[in-house]
Amino acid sequence: MAGRPAALNKRLIQELHKTRQEDNPALTYLAPPDDSDLHHWRAGLRGTPDSPYEGGVWDIDIVIPDNYPLAPPTIKFITKICHPNINIKTGEICLDLLKSEWSAAYTISSTMTAIQTLLTSPEPNSPLNVDAAALLNDGDTMGYESLVRYYVWRYARKETDL
């Protein structure tokens, strides 16, 4: 934590405490994997109920910049996931909130909720996964959902195993 802005460390500690007090249904956990670095967090993101992602849990990597909350964190999926707006190889997420629509009012927890919402509200016209986007753009919802369910089965941790 040395060398980092004290106000930022204070905000991150407050966010951690608030996250532990509230029960965010999108998350199984949200915390730094190492107590010595408040600027690197991990999260377990639940699949959205009543969706092809239901029952899955994905590990997420979160890197918080020194100018947070004025700049967004860098967030990516560690666990493979099939979604038009998530790069299947790198885990990069295409979400305006993580770029041009970022506001200092967002927290890490609220950002994770927005990412969970993205799972059921894909934007196939801004794809990072062109194969998943093509299925949706071609109107093949059944094919898309089958592919998503396969990735949930193959790669996601199961909510029932937690």
- Going 78 to 84 to 85 to 89, the CA torsion angle's sign is positive
Give me the amino acid identity at 91: G
Mention every residue, 6+ apart, whose C-beta is less than 8 A from residue 87.
Answer: 93, 128, 129
Mapped onto helix, strand or coil, the DSSP state of residue 97 is helix
Indicate if 82 belongs to the active site: no
In the set 94, 115, 152, 156, the catalytic residue is: 94
Q: How far is CA 137 from CA 30, 118, 160, in A?
A: 34, 17, 33
Q: How far is CA 46 from CA 4, 11, 37, 61, in A?
A: 31, 25, 24, 14
- Residues that are catalytic: 94
